[in-house]
């Protein structure tokens, strides 16, 4: 189970949201087929950072979609239907955790080349670093939610 500390009602709500997102894709309303991997990412985020709430966990998945106002409005409509507010501002209203906790994040802005990344035989969770396959995903490494990378991967 990806989110042992996440209430079952919240997981069921996410399942219904992702069903609606899938239907919107099948009807041609949305070009991107939001999949289980994004829903799992939200559940994992909620499990690891419960104080972020569902809005913060969802933001982690849809941040890239803020660049397209049409898609963002469609997403906001689906999430609002299930009681989850999503701002339609081009920039998130949420303060990044790094700013709150005083951490510094310096993402790579230019990918050298796509890569699979190293395999961790222990399958420990990895966030950042642009090194491991199946971690949070980096600018050019496969992972769950990276803005880049050649493909998504859950290890």
Give per-residue pLDDT as tens, 35-80: 899 999 999 999 999 998 998 899 888 888 888 888 889 999 999 9
Rounded average pLDDT over 82-107: 61
Beta bridge partner(s), residue 135: 143
Q: Which two tokens stand for residue 73?
A: 């409005």
3-state per-residue secondary structure call for 22-87: HHHHHCCCCCCCCCHHHHHHHHHHHHHCHHHHHHHHHHHHHHHHHHCHHHHHHHHHHHHHCCCCCC
What pLDDT is recorded for position 120? 74
pLDDT at 30 over 80: yes
pLDDT at 110 over 90: no
Q: Which two tokens stand for residue 155?
A: 């290890």
> Is 9 or 106 the better-scoring residue by pLDDT?
9
The SS3 assignment for 154 reads coil
pTM strictly above 0.75 = no
Task: Give pLDDT tens digits for 63-74.
Answer: 888 888 888 899
């Amino acid at each position: 189970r990806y989110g042992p500390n996440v209430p079952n009602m919240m997981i069921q709500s996410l399942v219904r949201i992702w069903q609606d997102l899938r239907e919107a894709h099948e009807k041609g309303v949305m070009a991107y087929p939001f999949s289980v991997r994004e829903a799992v990412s939200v559940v994992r985020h909620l499990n690891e950072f419960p104080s972020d709430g569902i809005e913060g966990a969802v933001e982690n998945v849809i941040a890239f979609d803020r660049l397209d106002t049409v898609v963002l409005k469609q997403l906001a409509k689906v999430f609002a239907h299930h009681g989850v507010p999503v701002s339609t501002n081009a920039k998130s209203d949420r303060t990044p955790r790094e700013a709150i906790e005083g951490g510094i994040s310096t993402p790579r802005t230019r990918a050298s080349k796509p890569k699979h990344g190293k395999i961790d035989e222990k399958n420990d969770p990895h966030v950042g670093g642009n090194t491991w396959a199946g971690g949070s995903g980096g600018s050019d490494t496969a992972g769950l939610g990276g803005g880049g990378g050649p493909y998504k991967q859950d290890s």
